[in-house]
Homo-oligomer: A and B are copies of this chain.
């Protein structure tokens, strides 16, 4: 049903997939309209049409859910987006707070062939610069290790930064400044200090971040809960290395 989705449909699919990641129920028309910064009526109409095309399950007044085919398409768009992010970051010197907007511009214009060329030139990266996994060519997300928000890491425990929230460029710049990028080892050295500050050990440095940033950083806890013992090192496959900041 419906060959290649239009750029607009791709944007809807991408957004709905994103919203489904952080919501369990169906996605409301309102959330979609807000996310795309358009009015609700055109969103309703588009969702109905996309349901007819088989991308969504839609029931009046109840919101939408991606179908399997819709999810596959969404993941293909996401694959394009994230490969472009890696390319902009690694090959063109973009900092990781700049890549998102530029990838949004390019993701609907690039040919499948160029995409695969970029992917190959990059050595088939598995994660984007923020640590988000890159879906496979056939539209599936490989299962990833369980992660924990840094806010929920118990005091004393350490782990490896797996992914950071990429929605706020200001946050990304700050994280680059303090060295909280995917792949680094981080340790909660103490309970939250007064004035909402969280003391951390990032690699060898002691830093303190505002409590508000902790929920946006996701780590994989180290196997050994105590001591400096690190059993096997490579839980981080091929993380890229976004430069510090602009």
Contact = CB atoms under 8 A, between A and B. Distances in A.
A244 interface: no
Contact of A109 (B93, B108, B121): B108
Per assembly, the copies of the chain total 2
Interface residues of A, number: 16
A114 interface: yes
A193 to B, nearest CB: 40
Contact of A117 (B93, B108, B114): B93
Contacts of A92: 114, 117-118, 121
A1 interface: no
A218 B208 CA distance: 65
Contact of A105 (B88, B111, B117): B111
Contacts of A88: 114
Interface string A85-113: 00010011100000000100110111101
8 contacts: A92-B114, A102-B111, A106-B106, A106-B109, A106-B110, A108-B109, A109-B109, A109-B110
